Structure 1
Amino acid sequence: MKSLKDFLRSFFNNSGHYVFLSFLIAKICGFIGSLLIIRLLPENEFGVLSIVLSVLTIFLPFTGFGSGQSLMRFGSISSDENEKLKISSYFFFKGILFEIILIILFLGASIFYFNKYEDIFIIFIFCAIRLGGYYFVNHIQAFYRITGKNQTFARINNVVNIGGLILLFICTYFFKFYGYLIAIAITPYLALFWLKKDIYLSRKFIPKNYKEMWRYGAFTAATSLISETLFSLDILLLGFLMNETAVANYRVAILIPSNITFLAVSFLQSDFPILSKNYRNKKFLSSYVVNFHKIFLPICAGIFIFFFFFDEYILQFFFGKTYVENGTLLMILLIGFNVGMLTRNLYGNLLPAVGKIEINTWISVASLLILYGVSSFLIPTYGVVGMGIAMTSTLLISGFSYMVFFLLYLRKLS
């Protein structure tokens, strides 16, 4: 992979464009779904729903206690197709047991909100059903990724997201708030149409290096958990330190900046199996980083310039006049997520691909502490803008840290 042309050719040969389009469709569907709820619900109901969804976001990456992440890593490395099937079966059955434990823990988290928000437990129940369905989506998609079927992965992604959006519209239209809850609970189970016997056929198989696999999965799950907590802690802190109106305004401002990262994530996710196979190839990894920046530096610059001139128009067009004053907050957050595509997203995905997931874990822990400390100091004085500054600062610091550790890893390779 010496040139940008080779980089793009490899991306298309790996059906990366299918993955990219599926991520694009997922983001569009998610964005439209969020717009629908923002438009239909009053600020207080939207704020309470955002709090529960933020708690759910913390638990989602820990689905199966890291079984899906381990399947992706070690299934990609294995060159034996039969062994891939056996590894899939092993993690499928072990992951279900751990997922049940995770759902119980998620429902237990609702006790912290009983006294402050009425009927919040009902929302937790519907989200718990969604959490269970997410396990099947995660494992089924990982199976098709490690077997080189990116088109099937993309097809599943499209059906779950487009089908979910249709369900969301129909259920919300007829049953309002509870219709929305029903839709988000049912949607993940659409992936079961692709659940084949190959995915779980070898039930008694136990890999020789299962301890190493679970160690990787545990670190990956912990890292994902902490990372997602980072993007939920802001909502939770605003919910405790301010009110649901502040939560709603911040949620609107962060919606677009946080979603633009799919541009980088789609490239990295489609290439994860290839990156894992080349984890000792210094020339390949260095070339990948260079070509990635050739593509995304102009993209990031263009995004920032566009929003700099049209931020208020975009807010009014998508969210209405109620949220139009959040332009400054949107731009602050855009800086963090935009630069994050070139640092946090890139190197934060490369490190797990080369097996250095523990580095991600410790950086994620540090990021969580930084966000908590800075936001606790800024929110009382600057409100939601203070939260935006804290989030952007955390993204920039963590992105730089990921970059340093990956470059140190490259330096050690011969």
Structure 2
Amino acid sequence: MFKFLILKLIINYIQNFLNRSGSYVFFATIISRLLSLIASWVALQFIDNNALGVVLFSYNIILFILPISGLGLPQSLIRFSALNKNEEDRNNIFLYVLKNGLFSSIGIILLIISISFFIPFQFEKAQTYMIFLSFLIVPSFLFEIVRAQLRLNHDNKNFAYSELLHSIIFVLLITFLTYFLDETGYIITLLVTPLLASLFFIKKLKIKVKQIKKLPELNFNFWKYGFFASLSNVVTQLLFVIDILLIGYLIKDAEMVTNYRYISLIPFSLLFLPRVFINTDFVTFTEKIYDKNYIREYIKSYMLLFLIVSIVLIIISYFFGSFILSLLDDRFILYTSTFFIMMIGVSGIFIFRGLFGNLLSSIGKANVNYYISLIALLLNVISNYYLIPKYGIKGAAITSAVLMWFTGILSLISFKIFYKKALLKVE
């Protein structure tokens, strides 16, 4: 009987996911991740390892800043529009975010360029790459708000197609441009791809351009929520790239940066699995966030599904880790144990962090996500300063794996506390 109830929960959860065009998001994301792996392989073939390591080093600096593009207004757009049922108001919120987000993004780019002159880069050309890559903030912001509006319109089909088109453009450009321009082609590809994808899909939003009307929700709290949500994403993103930055700083070997980047590529790419479900369902469960029965059932179904998925992936990585790494390059087989440790780590995100971090955002507690990520970041730096010199890139993997579980469980505890308080206010 108990097994039947578990099976029923999972089947109902998947069925609801499919009813919201989740299958489109799922398959588009899988294809996009495969194309991303292909693009990474292409870059590895056409670009010298040391040169690629320097580009990746600079790119990872920009990567952890990208979530703050537009000062987090894309995050505010999703939550506040989801809570607003008026179509005209949603249109107005989008225009407000577009205008103010563009100005904010340009300001961030200027700040990055200014700060770059005071950073003691240990790799030649790292500053130049960082300056050029900082311009990625504007096209990334545009792409994010276009995709956010598609989700708000419950148009998950076009949301899925937007990611697929982005990946196709990326693979085509990186193949052509890196062949002729080496690492310069890689940088141009990163800059141009989100812009082209945004221009194609923005017309599908059917936004009516008009004078922006001041709505009650377009206030300090609107900016505050987005700012903390973006800070949380920045720190979370930094948790993924801090290992690469510290490996480059402590070991001072660009090739080891490349090795760790590619060993962690598959585990981190698999994070698309919980993200697919959350991206498909976020607007829906935000609209129903104060329906405690709905949220309780959603949590049970999600956790059961991803517990099973995590167990399967851990078993596969244990028995077939060497073979999987050999598909990228035979020299990566030396780091099979590091790969397995990373797979255990991402299971903590599968089961806990991906779900409860987003539920905290749904109830307006993006600041709690920020504080959790900040604590994890501090622990990451302290731990890596000890483990990387002693164990190399395996030390970085151990730190990341432990913190993925730590932040997930802390998110669960935090959500339970703040959700009870939020329900009391509503009741």
TM-score range, shorter chain: over 0.9
Corresponding residue of 2:261: 251
- Give the alignment of 1:8-407 within 5 angstroms: 8-111=14-117, 116-190=122-196, 191-196=198-203, 198-199=206-207, 201-210=209-218, 211-243=220-252, 244-318=254-328, 320-407=329-416
Look up the SS of the partner of 1:79 in the other structure. Answer: coil
Letter in 2 for 1:398: T
**What amino acid is aligned across from residue 38 of structure 1 in structure 2?**
L
CA RMSD in angstroms, aligned pairs only: 1.9
Partner Cα distance (2:269, 2:296) in 1: 27
Counterpart-to-counterpart distance in 2, 1:411 and 1:115: 48
Q: Quick one: distance in 2 between partners of 1:270 and 1:99? A: 27
Counterpart residue type for residue 207 of structure 1: L
Range with greater deviation from structure 2 (137-146 or 207-216): 207-216
**Counterparts of 2:332 and 2:11, CA distance in 1:** 43
- Is contact 1:275–1:354 with CA below 8 Å preserved after alignment? no
Q: 283-292 vs 28-37, which deviates more? A: 28-37
| Structure 1 Cα separation of the partners of residues 184 and 211 of structure 2 | 38
Q: Report the Cα distance in structure 2 between the residues aligned to 1:41 and 1:322, rounded to whole angstroms.
A: 17
Deviations 1:229-277 (A, max 9, x none): 1112111111111121221221122111111111011101110001111
SS in 2 for 1:195: helix
Report Cα offsets for 1:6-55 as digits up to 9, x if no partner. Answer: 32222122112222222222222222212222233333112211111110
Provide the C-alpha distance between the structure 2 equivalents of 1:379 and 1:163, rounded to a whole number of angstroms: 37
Shift of the 17–259 alpha-carbon distance from structure 1 to 2, 3 Å rule, reads: same
Q: For residues 246 and 410 of structure 1, do their structure 2 counterparts lie closer, same or farther at Cα, with a shift above 3 Å needed?
A: same
Deviation of 1:109 after TM superposition, in Å, equals 4.3
Q: Can you give the 5+ residue segments of structure 2 that lack an aligned partner in the other structure?
A: 1-7
Deviation at 1:181, TM superposition (A): 1.7
Across the two proteins, how many residue pairs are aligned to each other? 413
1:128–1:203 distance in 2 versus 1, CA, 3 Å = farther
Offset of residue 291 of structure 1? 0.7
Q: How does the TM-score come out when normalised to structure 2?
A: 0.92
> C-alpha displacement at 1:111, in angstroms?
2.9
Matched residue, 2:4: none
Contact 1:113 1:120 (8 Å CA) reproduced: no
Give me the whole-angstrom Cα distance separating, in 2, the residues matched to 1:289 and 1:406. Answer: 11
Q: Deviations over 1:162-185 (max 9, x none)?
A: 111111111112222222222111
1:108 shift after superposition: 3.3
Instruction: Give the whole-Å Cα distance in 1 for the aligned partners of 2:201 and 2:349.
Output: 34
Unaligned runs of 5+ in 1: none
Change beyond 3 A, Cα 1:168–1:285: same
Deviation at 1:114, TM superposition (A): 5.9
Q: Percent identity?
A: 28
Give the deviation of 1:115 after TM superposition: 5.0
Structure 1 stretch displaced more, 282-291 or 400-409: 400-409
Q: Which amino acid is 2:213 matched to? A: F
Pair 1:200–1:112, CA change in 2 (3 A): farther
Please say which of residues 16-25 and 390-399 is displaced more in the overlay: 16-25
What TM-score comes out, normalization by structure 1 length? 0.95
Q: Answer yes or no: is the 8 Å Cα contact 2:55–2:183 preserved in 1.
A: no
Deviates more, 1:143-152 or 1:91-100: 143-152
Instruction: Give SS of 1:391's match.
Output: helix
SS at match of 1:209: coil
Q: Is the 8 A contact 1:329 1:384 kept in 2?
A: yes
State the 1:207 CA deviation: 2.1
Amino acid at match of 2:385: S
What are the superposed Cα offsets for residues 284-337 of structure 1, whole Å, 9 maximum, x if unpaired?
11100111122222211111111101111111122x122220111111111111
Letter in 2 for 1:9: Q
Quote the Cα distance in structure 2 between the aligned partners of 1:61 and 1:251: 20
Q: How many Å separate the matches in 2 of 1:391 and 1:8?
A: 30
Preserved contact between residue 130 and residue 187 of structure 1 (Cα < 8 Å): no
